[in-house]
Chains A and B, each alone.
Chain A
Amino acid sequence: MALLSVSHLAVDFHFPRYRIRAVDDVSFTIEPGEVLGLVGESGAGKTVACRALIRLLPGRNGRIASGRVDFAGRDIARLPEEDLRPYRGRQIAFMFQDSAAQFDPVMSVGAQIAETIAFHDNLDHAEARGRAIEWLRQVGLADPQHQYDWFPHQFSGGLRQRVLIATALAASPKLLIADEPTTGLDVTVQAQILRLLLDLRDKLGFAIILVTPDLGVVAEVCDAAAIMYAGRIVEQAPKSELLSRPLHPYSEALMRALPDKLAPGAPLLSIAGQAPSLAALPRGCRFHPRCPYVEEACRFGDAQLAQVSPWRTSACLRWQILAQ
């Protein structure tokens, strides 16, 4: 059974005179221990979709409009706030995008981890401290006894990301949602952090939703990936199938935009134009104005996510042609 199964999730943001559907009809599943990449450009709705899972939407005007979020056999989209709280942090942990902003700047990082542990596991101070130091060791800090007392600003970007992982995992969650954990890091540090996440996953068995704009990261780290565009998922597939044969023109375009190899002097196959604003979405398939294969049907037909195989979906009306 899938650990998390999201079906037809829609998230609205309400404004005084209008509303914006930031996430529309999003469905995906993730198995225990799986690493799922959630890929898309800025404004595609990746972060909103993830935050909607545990109803931690930015601002106070975001609401789940419809859809189910089944986590370990229970629809948590409809749970009242108090019943949802045990899931947050405890079952589903979240690493937000801006790692510097997630620490209290006037409290040592060790104390912040210990606080999480003490809260979730009802431990006393000394035990929580010991467990926090153990977590700092697990995420690869050189001198956890000593670094327990450091303040957030004393850590480099890479170390801070490690500490953030420790904080997220301290409550032994079944699912970790990591929102662009390596954006802004150098590539050698990014490789360290991704390696660490995979090692911990192998040891502890939690599943990961890895939000990233980088298909290269997906290729190296993820078991499967879901591609988002303008608030919708356009394709979900196991990594190797996705990268060897994408079944949506947008995924294909992303892959070809910055290829590993290119003949000297040949231009890149860039996608013309830019992603539509959520306030003014085109009719039909949302990608059709930029799609090189656009047909008449794409302009009007609703491009629903179709089951291509038991483990693959595509929202392209022409997926059968692409599959050949």
Chain B
Amino acid sequence: MNLALPIGRRSATLYHGVLIVLVWVILALGASAIAPYDPTVGNDLLAMQGPSALHWFGCDNQGRDILSRLLYGARTDITMAALAIFPPFVIGCGIGLVAGYFGGVSDYLPIRLLDVTGSFPYFILILAVISVVGPGQPGFYISVAAVGWVGYARILRNQTRSLRQGEFVTAARCLGFSGPRILLLHILPNALLPAAIQAISDIALTLMLAVALNYLGLGVQAPAIEWGRMISEGQAYLAPDPWICFFPGAAIMLLALGFRLAADGLAERLEGEG
């Protein structure tokens, strides 16, 4: 019986994180119902108007309602951030599992590749990949997949290597289970959790990346509504009318915080159980 109180009481981190993310997802999904104005139609009379009772977050240089644009922009950004996580997750987990289980050459090659990829600055590598495949959403997804698998592969490889020596894998071998069965039904489910937590935490990172690329004009193209583009359009008016950039910036921060909290809370919860 473990009587010692865990350091740092079990917190509400997970709830807060999930709550923030959930609210954003609902706002994004319901944007067409919630948004008070059409986000694409501007009114010249309202250009650069500050926050008011009618336009809570004010209007941008073309007189479009910033609140409405934020809600529609959330759709693009959440979709990009969440979807971009899957290809590298699947690729990385597959490579890591094979490398960790079989060892030898199947371990050596991915690990060298992993070391090389890992020693380049993340963002520069992304830009390099985009410069090859070209800007736009496909370029974004491909670049994240090409660079992002590394982290998951490393986690899965190490997990698999230690689980493979474990007693329950020996027991499974004694019971005559086949190699693929042991790998997929016994090792994989036990190895996957840490990688999944990493993935949730990484959504915050891909969100930033999506915003940054869109800001640079390398991501979604006009007329799509997106937070990074809102910031880049508003930065010319930063001094007199800061709200044009402030609200998208705050939105990015809040959403990224939500993902990070959710990942931390999940890790904490699982640690407490294990």
Contacts and interface: CB of A to CB of B under 8 A. Distances in A.
Interface of A: 13-16, 20, 22, 43, 48, 58-62, 277-278
A316 B5 CA distance: 33
4 interchain residue pairs of minimum CB distance: A59-B4, A61-B5, A13-B3, A58-B4
Interface in B1-60: 1, 3-5, 9
A59 B1 contact: no
A29 to B, nearest CB: 26
B5 A15 contact: yes
B1 A277 contact: yes
Given A13-B5, A60-B5, A277-B1, 6 more contacts: A20-B3, A22-B3, A59-B3, A60-B4, A61-B3, A62-B3
B19 to A, nearest CB: 22
25 contacts: A13-B3, A13-B4, A13-B5, A14-B5, A15-B5, A16-B9, A20-B3, A22-B1, A22-B3, A43-B1, A48-B3, A58-B3, A58-B4, A59-B3, A59-B4, A59-B5, A60-B4, A60-B5, A61-B3, A61-B4, A61-B5, A62-B3, A62-B4, A277-B1, A278-B1
Contacts of A13: 3-5
A22 B3 CA distance: 8
A9 to B, nearest CB: 16
A290 to B, nearest CB: 18
The residue among B3, B4, B9 with the most chain A CB atoms within 10 A of its own CB is: B3
A60 B3 CA distance: 10
B186 to A, nearest CB: 28
A59 B6 CA distance: 8
Contacts of A58: 3-4
Contacts of B3: 13, 20, 22, 48, 58-59, 61-62
B158 to A, nearest CB: 21
Contacts of B5: 13-15, 59-61
Contacts of A22: 1, 3
A96 to B, nearest CB: 14
Contacts of A278: 1
Contacts of B4: 13, 58-62
